[in-house]
Amino acid sequence: MPNFDQYNISLDVVHKHLEVIDVPSIVASRDDPWWNQTLTQVNDSVVRLGVVHGEFHWHKHDNDDEFFFVISGRLFIDMEDRTLELGPGQGATITKGVMHRPRAPEKTVMLMVETCAIVPTGD
C-alpha cells in the first residue's frame, strides 16, 4: 500500500484565466520530494505543475488519459511492458487504464494535463 503522506498534492486551482503564471518562481519555492499543484483550468481539464524527485507508486486511471511534459530534469514512466524516458521538451500521453509509475532520478519539473475529475494517486 503506498504511503500518500510522502506526496504534497494540491488540487486547488491557484491561477485564474488571464493571469500570468511564473513557473520558475514557483519551482524555486519548492523543496518537497514529490510536489504537484493545479495551476489553472482549461475547459474540463487542468494544467498541473510537478516538481518531483524519486518514485511515485504504481497506479492507473480507469477513465482518464494523462499527459506529461518535462520542462527540466528526466522523467521515467514505467509501464508493465516498457519504460518511457522523457527529457526537457518531451512529453507523452498515458492512456486511461494503463498501469504506470512515474519516477524521477533527479529533480524534475513537469507539466501535466488531465481532466478535472482525475484522482492523481490513481483509481
CATH superfamily label, 4-115: Jelly Rolls (2.60.120.10)
Kind of pairing between the strands at 34-42 and 83-86: unpaired
Task: Tell me what pLDDT residue 123 has.
Answer: 85
Which pLDDT tens digit goes with each residue over 21-35? 999 999 999 999 999
Which pLDDT tens digit goes with each residue over 72-88? 999 999 999 999 999 99
Q: Is the pTM of this model over 0.85?
A: yes
Domain boundaries, the chain: 4-115
At residue 45, does pLDDT exceed 70?
yes
Which 3 state secondary structure label does DSSP give 30?
coil
Nearest-5° angle of CA 43, CA 118, CA 38?
65
> For 2-123, where are the alpha helices, taking DSSP H only?
23-28
Task: Tell me what pLDDT residue 6 has.
Answer: 85
Cβ contacts of 43 within 8 Å, gap of 6 or more: none
Averaged pLDDT, 1-11: 83
